[in-house]
Amino acid sequence: MACESGHLVSLPDGYAAVVFQGPEVALPDMLAARERRVDSLRAMLAAARQNEALLCLTLSIPGPVKTSPVLERVFDELVCAAESELADVAVRERCRTNDATGPEYYALVELPAHELKLRMVGIEEGHPLGRLGDLDVLARADDMPGQAAVNSISRRDLGLPLRRCLICGGEAKACARSRAHTVEEMQARIATIIEQGGYSQP
């Protein structure tokens, strides 16, 4: 069970170090990975049919370490949760990458984008590890002839509450913009969520 927002729980000494025992990546690496991700999204959206939406699943991990054996297990659990949620619909294409900049999972799903987003928000809010993942949903914007523009479906589009900060419970994006919490605080909180969810072993 995920721990209550806003309360740090003590962990065994060194546990966060185990969670984040992985390769460090620099800002240029992350920027290059973001560009590659956008290219991948555009390519998959270009092949999408009118009744399909694109799921992009990544981890939301602060700091220079974006993957490790423990974090890979967290990602595996979220992928399994997403695929279980989509067991009743057609998934025409799947793609997964495992790079030092963090694992990524893409799926073209035969669902209206807003319905797919609702299902993925259910995972983000209801799964023990859901708060550690970004389950983004994108659809084609056909107002640009010859180009598949990336049209991201937000919680705001659905009238849903915004994501909350793992530490203070405030708006997550606002805390990230203001750097309200240190990387070390965020890593400790993430380690707590993983440990309390029973996913502490790779």
Domain ranges of the chain: 24-160
Pairing of strands 149-153, 53-59: unpaired
The total of other beta-carbon atoms located within 10 Å of residue 177's CB is 9
pLDDT score at 200: 61
- pLDDT confidence of residue 143: 37
Residues 89, 109: contact at Cβ < 8 Å?
A: yes
Q: What is the pLDDT of residue 142?
A: 63
Nearest to 147 by CA among 34, 51, 41: 41
Q: Which of 146, 19, 127, 123 is nearest to 70 (CA)?
A: 19
> What is the block-wise mean pLDDT of the chain (202 residues), using blocks of 10 residues?
33 73 93 91 87 94 94 96 96 92 95 95 96 94 52 90 92 91 93 83 58
- In angstroms, rounded to a whole number, what is the distance separating the alpha carbons of residues 51 and 115? 11
Q: What is the pLDDT of residue 150?
A: 67
Q: What fold does the segment set 24-160 form as a domain?
A: Alpha-Beta Plaits (3.30.70)
Specify the pTM: 0.86
In this predicted model, what pLDDT tens digit does every residue of 51-103 receive, in sequence order? 899 999 999 999 999 999 999 999 999 999 999 999 999 998 999 999 999 99
Q: What does the pLDDT read at residue 2?
A: 30
SS3 8: coil
Residue 139 belongs to what H/E stretch? strand 133-141
